[in-house]
Amino acid sequence: MRGGAHLGNGNGNGNGNGNGNGGHGNGGHGNGGHGNGSSDETLVERVRAGEEHALIELHDRFAGRVFGVALRILRNPCDAEDIVQETFVQVWRNPGGYDAARGGLAAWLCVIARSRALDSLRRRRPESAPEREAGGPPRAMDDVLCVRQALDGLTLDQRTAIEMAYYEGLSQSEIAGRLGAPLGTVKGRIRAGMIRLRETLTP
């Protein structure tokens, strides 16, 4: 159904049902093929045809880059996960917004994410203004410190996989290749790490 896509709540469980394991960090490498998967254009055409599994593949491929854009603006992984979800829901509802002649698919997704993240930032600024007026540290600085402390609380394997996915923009397959670890192991580390981050950072 075109009404909405089911990408999960951010904890991730391997079928594109979240940001933890759905394939963050796949970065989007132009418009060509990705390993044995469909090309970017083919995926978009399948989404336009209402094929929900194509949206899941799209999420697996580009969620990492989208998350990175949102995180750099919002400085809060939970808020950034919400932007990832909103971005791919928008793609599902309006796939016709993509025009390959105007640029790559990854760039288009990042534009959507950036716009939504900035909207979110503008909405929350009035709430944080009194805190700044009182002489407290900027919220962005607080959030960065909280994220760093939360990452430090993960196991080394979990932290390494998450940082490679979200800060370097690597796909899970690329992470597995670089670490010499099975793909399933990498997915498990990212999923477990994201669950732990959410538990730590959610008030």
Residue pLDDT, tens place only, 108-139: 999 999 999 999 888 876 554 444 444 444 55
Burial class from Cβ neighbours inside 10 Å (0-12, 13-18, 19+) for residue 156 reads exposed
Query: What is the arithmetic mean of pLDDT over 56-83?
Result: 85
Question: Whole-model pTM above 0.75?
Answer: no
Contact in structure between 15 and 156 (CB atoms under 8 Å):
no
Q: Using the predicted structure, report yes or no on whether residue 54 has a pLDDT greater than 80.
A: yes
The residues, any chain, with a CB within 8 Å of residue 178's CB and separated by 6 or more, are 164, 170
In this structure, how many other beta carbons lie within 10 angstroms of the beta carbon of residue 194? 27
User: To the nearest whole number, what is the mean pLDDT of the chain?
Assistant: 75
In this structure, how many other beta carbons lie within 10 angstroms of the beta carbon of residue 200? 15
Q: What is the pLDDT of residues 144-184, one digit of tens each?
A: 677 778 888 889 998 898 888 777 767 778 888 989 999 88
**Residue 55 banded pLDDT, cuts 50, 70, 90:** very high
Q: What are the structure tokens assigned to 42, written together?
A: 């083919």
Q: Using the predicted structure, report yes or no on whether residue 1 has a pLDDT greater than 80.
A: no
Q: What are the structure tokens assigned to 199, written together?
A: 């538990």
Q: What is the pLDDT of residue 185?
A: 92
Q: What is the pLDDT of residue 12?
A: 41
b/e code 51-70 from CB counts within 10 Å (16+ = b) = ebebbbbbbbbbbbbbbbbb
